[in-house]
A and B are shown apart, each in its own frame.
Chain A
């Protein structure tokens, strides 16, 4: 089964990469964009042998303890 985890910087954390993208959009002929925040997107494949409740626990752990640094980031899980 495929699960998607999206990790974003907390709103209070400065995002130099997103800022660099936003600042240079005019040169790409794109105007009117006032903010860009860059995040991370993970496609995770879980073995079908793992039961539904176990899968939930495992993905939560993966997202919370590995893919995210809770000091600066938050995550969202999309179950398909």
Chain B
């Protein structure tokens, strides 16, 4: 299984993602420069976090027009696994590969801290190694993580079990206090209709080893490798 980490100018979690995938899956990982026009030979792609193109215009808005994005779109439509973390999530919504949008945090502040997530579905290739309801300790670091979508889209996400993670408190309750950015319905991560594309604001790539404060992020990459080896 070969993983690709897509590198855009201004992202800063590309190496974290490579290290996380390497440590957790033991599979080969290669960087893919944003000017590439093909993602041939890769089994899964990671869109890392950071500040692509300085977050100018809107986070992810300029990265969306990078040459590699057309190839990623085609890869996703063929059913290839794509995970977007933080800025990667923003790129996927801007590119229309995931519904909704990520707005400025409701509290206007950049929020960088550990928090709790609840796995809302184990029926995705990114969460299949977790039981539904499982709590995860993971860090966030973003200024634009306020997920919003119209009511119809939210209904579709909910009905089709496409909400992957919600922000919760330590007891697993999705309260307003546990919501760091104002996201509708405490949403922290979603999958597309085909369930092969996931975006999440929290960082599994920063929580794959106990020395980082948590190793709960491992479950995301373990899920992916589990799903890939079942194909």
Contact = CB atoms under 8 A, between A and B. Distances in A.
B94 interface: yes
A14 B101 contact: no
Nearest to A12: B150
Main secondary structure of the interface of B (DSSP, over half): loop
Given A69-B94, A71-B100, A71-B149, A14 B58 contact: no
Interface string B34-77: 00000000000000000000000110010001000000000000
Given A66-B61, A67-B57, 15 more contacts: A13-B103, A14-B106, A14-B146, A14-B182, A16-B105, A16-B107, A16-B108, A17-B104, A17-B108, A20-B108, A66-B57, A69-B94, A69-B101, A71-B100, A71-B101
A16 B104 CA distance: 7
A72 interface: yes
B25 interface: no
Interface string B154-191: 00000000000000000000000000001000000000
A69 B58 contact: yes
A69 B148 contact: no
A72 B58 CA distance: 11
Chain B: number of interface residues, binned into ranges: 20 to 34
B93 interface: yes
Interface string A53-80: 0000000000000110101100000000
11 contacts: A14-B103, A14-B106, A16-B104, A16-B108, A17-B108, A66-B57, A69-B61, A69-B101, A71-B93, A72-B101, A72-B148
The list of the 6 closest CB pairs from A to B, nearest first, reads A71-B101, A16-B108, A72-B101, A16-B104, A20-B108, A16-B106
B93 A16 contact: no
Interface in A39-62: none
Contacts of B58: 69
Interface in A12-31: 13-14, 16-17, 20
Contacts of B182: 14, 16
A66 B148 CA distance: 19
A69 B101 CA distance: 8
Contacts of A66: 57, 61, 65
A62 to B, nearest CB: 11
Contacts of A20: 108
Contacts of B100: 71
Contacts of B101: 69, 71-72
B84 to A, nearest CB: 16
Contacts of B105: 16
B103 A72 contact: yes
A10 to B, nearest CB: 10
